[in-house]
Chains A and B, each alone.
Chain A
Amino acid sequence: QVQLQESGPGLVKPSQTLSLTCSVSGGSISSDSSGVYYWNWIRQHPEKGLEWIGYIYYSGDTFSNPSLKSRLTISVDTSKNQFSLKLNSVTAADTAVYFCARMIPRAREFDHWGQGILVTVSS
C-alpha cells in the first residue's frame, strides 16, 4: 500500500523559503506496471478549500500553478523515493496545510494523499 508523508519546518519567517519533502513508501516514485504517476503538492488555507500547487514526474518534468510559478520549485530524488517543494518569498498568505498526493494516469485522480503538514508563516 502506497503511503506518502510530508516533512519540514512548521514555522517559516516572512520573506524566507518554505521547504517541504514528501517521502513515498510502499511503491516506487518512478514508473511501474500501472504507468507513470504525477506527484503533486496541494495546499489548504485555514478553514478554506483546496489549491493545487504543482506536480512533477519521476523524470523531473514539472507543471506549476501559474499563480505560484514565479516562487515555486518542485524537484524529485528517485534514489530516495522523495519529491520536494520550495516556495520562496513567503508571506502570511502562504500559511496553510500542505499535502502531497499521487495522481494516477487512469483518469488523472488523486488516489493517495499524505496526512498534511501545517506551515505557519510568522515572524
Chain B
Amino acid sequence: DIQLTQSPSSLSASVGDRVTITCRARQTVSTYLSWYQQKPGKAPKLLIYAASSLQSGVPSRFSGSGSGTDFTLSISSLQPEDFATYYCQQSYSPPWTFGQGTKVEVK
C-alpha cells in the first residue's frame, strides 16, 4: 500500500490567511493525487485532481501543486466556509489510500 502522510494534522488560522497543507507519499504516485474537503456530517468534496487541476465549481483560491512524492494544497485567502478537514488521496496504485487528514480550525 502507498502510505500518504499529511502535515500538519491540524492548524489554526484566521479568515484571510494563506494556508498550506502538505502531503507526502512513501513512493511515487506521479500526479495521481487528489484533494478533498470534508465538513462534519458530510461526504468529502473533490477540490483538486491530477495534483493541480481545479475541479469545476471550486473557488480559485484553492490550488494544488507537486508530483512524484511531494504535494501541497494551498488556500490563498481563507474564507469562513473553508474551516473543514482536508484529505489527500492517491489513485496511482490500488489499494487507493488517503492521508490522515488536516483539520483547519478557527484561530
Contact = CB atoms under 8 A, between A and B. Distances in A.
B87 interface: yes
A108 B42 CA distance: 21
Interface residues of B, number: 25
Interface stretch (B15-23, B66-74, B76-84, B93-101): B93-101
A49 B32 contact: no
B63 interface: no
Contacts of B42: 115-116
A103 B92 CA distance: 13
A63 B42 CA distance: 26
B92 to A, nearest CB: 8
Given A107-B49, A115-B43, A49 B36 contact: no
Indicate the size class of the contact surface on chain A.
Answer: 20 to 34
Given A49-B87, A50-B44, A109 B34 contact: yes
Contacts of A106: 49-50
Nearest to A67: B95
Interface of A: 40, 49-52, 55, 63-67, 99, 101, 103, 106-111, 113-116
Interface of B: 1, 31-32, 34, 36, 42-46, 49-50, 53, 55, 87, 89, 91, 94-101
23 contacts: A49-B99, A49-B100, A49-B101, A50-B89, A52-B96, A63-B95, A66-B1, A67-B95, A99-B43, A106-B50, A107-B31, A107-B49, A107-B53, A109-B34, A109-B49, A109-B50, A109-B55, A109-B89, A110-B34, A110-B36, A111-B49, A113-B45, A114-B43
